[in-house]
Structure 1
């Protein structure tokens, strides 16, 4: 009986160490850098700012739309002409 408990203890300890090495430590390292941790795929992702994608900085006024797109009558007339 003592051997059974010893084997169960060793297996549980090994699983605990594997969990910490495989999931806990990488998560802590990722989050300490300010990145995002995905625990399902165990992936450390760098957040992408929307201003990096669009090129606009926060606080910039939006660019005006083209004149044809702002007037529905003009857009309809242009669409019906052959």
Structure 2
């Protein structure tokens, strides 16, 4: 009986150790980089573990956003400073 209890104790300790290491790897490998990425107003991809910089459609197409409030909101959403004011 004592032998069985010792064996079960070692099995449970082994499972606990493996799960603890798994949680540590998850925190360091996925959760901490995700939080840093989201604090920087970027996009986090869980599958590839990539932090990507969002791009405004107006940057790609060259068309400007006509509504200044909407443009300011879009820039704030991706963490960019407001557009400089152009004097005619």
Relative to the length of structure 1, the TM-score reads 0.68
Relative to the length of structure 2, the TM-score reads 0.64
* 1:19 counterpart (17, 26, 34): 26
Alignment of 1:40 with 2:43, yes or no, is no
Q: Which runs of 5+ in 1 are unaligned?
A: 61-82
Q: Which runs of 4+ in 1 moved over 4 A?
A: none
Q: Which runs of 5+ in 2 are unaligned?
A: 1-7, 68-88
Q: CA RMSD in A?
A: 1.3
* 2:36 counterpart (26, 29, 32): 29
The 1-side partners of 2:46 and 2:24 are apart by 17
- Provide, for residues 14-73 of structure 1, a one-character-per-residue CA deviation record: whole Å limited to 9, x for no partner: 00000111111111110010000010111111001111112221018xxxxxxxxxxxxx
- Displacement of 1:9: 0.5
Q: How many residues align?
A: 60
Higher relative contact order (CA 8 A, sep 6+): 2
